[in-house]
Amino acid sequence: MRIGISILNGGEIATAEAIRKVAQRAEELEYNTLWTFERVLYAVKPQNPYPGTPDGSWPLMFRRMLDPLDTLMFAAAQTKKIFLGTSVLDIPYYNPVMLARRMATIDYLSNGRLRVGLGIGWSKDEMEAMGADMTQRGPLSDEFLQVMRAVWTQNPVEFHGNFFNVPKSYIDLKPVQKPSPKIYLAAFAPAAMQRLARLADGWNPTGVPIAGMEQMFASIKEMAKAAGRDPSSLEMVVRANLKITDKPIEKDRFIFTGTLDQIKEDTDACKRIGAHEVHFEPGFAGGPMTVDTWLKRMEQLRTFV
């Protein structure tokens, strides 16, 4: 099982020097992947809770965000071999042709190190700010993924759908990875899991109990088989939003919360149910972190895998 670590693109700690230190230290520690995340704003009075924390609270680091793709490009320039991923970008906020080009550029300039994590978004406040329609996220995402694949793998490329139209055109810039970088979807509803099974390379769950992940991933594989795909080709990359405590949590423990020993138990359980990678996010819960604290956590967590 691979191991990844989130890079600092949110909060006051997110600086060029911090990103450089974390990226280079992660490579020295032989982490497999660096991950960024995306938030557009921090709603003063949120219309809906954040699904990635036990109590639904929005992490304070959402208030100050570096662009996730620009951060990966910067990290690519500081490293040589570690993979670079997004967990996740929200599809309704983007145009697929432009996003495909930006991602192909990262893959090309990093010599084939991009991992693509996408979701359909959850924040009503962000949807309003971006002019996105929450009611159309599903069908729009189906076309979005097809357009991105087409841009990456066809030349000339052409696509005509209900949401996107690409006239027959040459787009010569292609990713280094063939046929394309791996796409992971943060899918939890049945329709989203079906989309993953048909169009993506893997699943990027967060906040799901071990038994739930095992059951859901088995269902996704069955859906892939029914769609004529090889289910063994799908990967599960688990995002671990950490909340580390000094004392064990004995009752109603949310996954990846508690002492380091309890978090290691969750990591081992992910491996047991067939996860291909666990990537740790140390900064979502608790008080402010320093770069030194982040680096120390990276060393501790690296021993888990």
What is the domain partition of the chain in residue ranges? 2-302
The mean pLDDT of the chain is 96
Closest CA to 200 of 183, 188, 187, 212: 183
What per-residue confidence (pLDDT) applies to 247?
A: 96
Q: Is the pLDDT of residue 274 over 80?
A: yes
What per-residue confidence (pLDDT) applies to 189?
A: 95
Q: Give me the percent of the chain exceeding a pLDDT of 70.
A: 99
Residue that the structure tokens 């005509």 belong to: 160
Name the CATH superfamily housing domain 2-302: Luciferase-like domain (3.20.20.30)
Give me the torsion for CA of 298, 211, 90, 241, rounded to 10°: -30
Q: Is the pLDDT of residue 52 over 80?
A: no
Q: Is the pLDDT of residue 269 over 70?
A: yes
Report phi then psi at 162, rounded to 5.
-80, -30
Q: Is the pLDDT of residue 156 over 80?
A: yes
What per-residue confidence (pLDDT) applies to 287?
A: 67
Q: Is the pLDDT of residue 283 over 90?
A: no
Question: CA-CA distance, 121 to 90, in Å (whole number)?
Answer: 5
Residue-wise pLDDT for 227-264, tens only, equals 999 999 999 999 999 999 999 999 999 999 999 999 99
What per-residue confidence (pLDDT) applies to 288?
A: 72
Closest CA to 238 of 218, 256, 262: 256
DSSP conformation class of 251: S
Question: CA-CA distance, 281 to 10, in Å (whole number)?
Answer: 11
Q: Is the pLDDT of residue 286 over 70?
A: no
What per-residue confidence (pLDDT) applies to 119?
A: 97
> Whole-model pTM?
0.96
Classify 256 in phi/psi space as left (phi over 0), alpha (psi -120 to 50) or beta: left
Strand 83-86 versus strand 33-36 pairing type:
parallel
Residue-wise pLDDT for 79-126, tens only, equals 999 999 999 999 999 999 999 999 999 999 999 999 999 999 999 999
